[in-house]
Amino acid sequence: MKILEKGFTDIEIDPSLDLFAEIEQLKKEKNAIILAHYYQEPDIQDVADYIGDSLGLAQQAEQTNADLIVFAGVHFMAETAKILNPTKKVLLPDLNAGCSLADSAPAELFRAFKAKHPDHLVVSYINCTADIKALSDIICTSGNAEKIIESIPKDQPILFAPDKNLGAYLNKISGRNMLLWNGACMVHEIFSLEKITKLKIRHPKAKLIAHPECEDAILRIADYIGSTTQLLKYTKSDTASEYIVATETGILHQMQQDNPQKTFIPAPPTNNCACNDCPHMKLNTLEKLYLCMKYETPEITMDETLRLAAKKPMDRMLDISRAAGLLG
Ligand code: 13P
Ligand code: SF4
């Protein structure tokens, strides 16, 4: 087996090994915690200590007493955990697990854009690199964005990055006119309005629930819009028995577990590929999770000056969320 700088390759794990038991054992031995996003494959969700949306994961990372944080998610999420925990080792099973949305805001271009609007306060969605966080005044997630925007005086101009869809949705519900960076998530832009419309005709009682990273055309016809945790909570409290789910398919695992009697249909993409699976999130596998815990690599490291600059807007977000009683 080779260990590359960014993770594992030529993986040869004894197929008779019970990876669930091995991972549990490693957790105890190393005082490790596994934090997983809802978009991870079901096996990873089943072995995680905490599964949540970006807000919940950041809050857990802030509070944990574990010595080792194993982050089953994408790079910006593991980076967030490191920003909040400089003395702890933070592992990501595959360092190539990036994010198309974070990639849509390169730091140098963003710095130049920000310089053109010196009177604007910069609010950045957590789906961005540590460099972008360091250039921001406040961070938000899909679960607290509305409250974060509300906390800013109405006459203060805002530059919102990197997700133009979430930004446009926030402009609509808040009545603001935030200046939007032109970024988007490849998964949430793939849903087909035409196919969803046809699906709704075949399932007239099904409710459409959507993540705010989706395009406006999808959000306009949605019955409920929210972060992954909010979508999950909605399916538990709502009385419908069928839902069309316009977000990454990984969330269906928890929805189905929490509501065994309900039906969840993934919203169809524009073509016939499985493009509503995030290719970055799905780079992590149970095998890579096991190996990364066993060998304690690949690890997230960060320059301390960058970490401190990125932590400031993260702390503001966590403080506002705490004051508003918001949990992910
Ligand atoms: P939330 O976890 O905040 O719902 O965001 C979804 C997402 O795209 C994470 O990459
Ligand atoms: Fe990034 Fe979209 Fe994947 Fe989330 S679903 S990690 S926003 S590419």
pLDDT in tens, 131-142: 999 999 999 999
What per-residue confidence (pLDDT) applies to 3?
A: 66
Which 8-state DSSP code applies to residue 76?
A: H
Tell me which of 188, 211, 231 to substitute to probe ligand 2's pocket, judged by most ligand atoms within 8 Å of the beta carbon: 188
pLDDT score recorded for residue 11: 67
To test the pocket of ligand 1, the residue of 189, 228, 232, 248 to mutate (highest count of ligand atoms within 8 Å of its CB) is 228
Of 279, 203, 224, nearest in space to 248 by CA: 279
- Report the nearest atom of ligand 2 relative to the CA of 127: 7
Token output for 328: 């992910």
Q: Is the CB of 143 under 6 A from ligand 1?
A: yes
Topology of domain 101-185+309-323 in CATH is Rossmann fold (3.40.50)
Q: Kindly tell me the sign of the dihedral angle through the C-alpha atoms of 149, 154, 160, 163.
A: positive
**Which CATH fold would you assign to the domain 193-266?**
Rossmann fold (3.40.50)
Q: Considering Cα of 57, then 60, then 66, then 67, what sign does the dihedral take? A: positive
Contact 276 CB / ligand 1 (< 6 Å): no
Domain 2-95+281-302 CATH superfamily: NadA-like (3.40.50.10800)
Q: Express each pLDDT in 50-95 by its tens digit.
A: 999 999 999 999 999 999 999 999 999 999 999 999 999 999 999 9
Query: How far apart, in Å, are the Cα atoms of 306 and each of 34, 86, 302, 309?
Result: 25, 12, 7, 5
Query: 27-51, pLDDT tens digit by residue?
Result: 999 999 999 999 999 999 999 999 9
Model confidence at 1, in pLDDT bands (50, 70, 90)? Answer: low
What 3-state DSSP class applies to 149? helix
Answer yes or no: is the C-beta of 189 below 6 A from any ligand 1 atom.
no
Which part of the chain is CATH 3.40.50.10800? 2-95+281-302, 101-185+309-323, 193-266
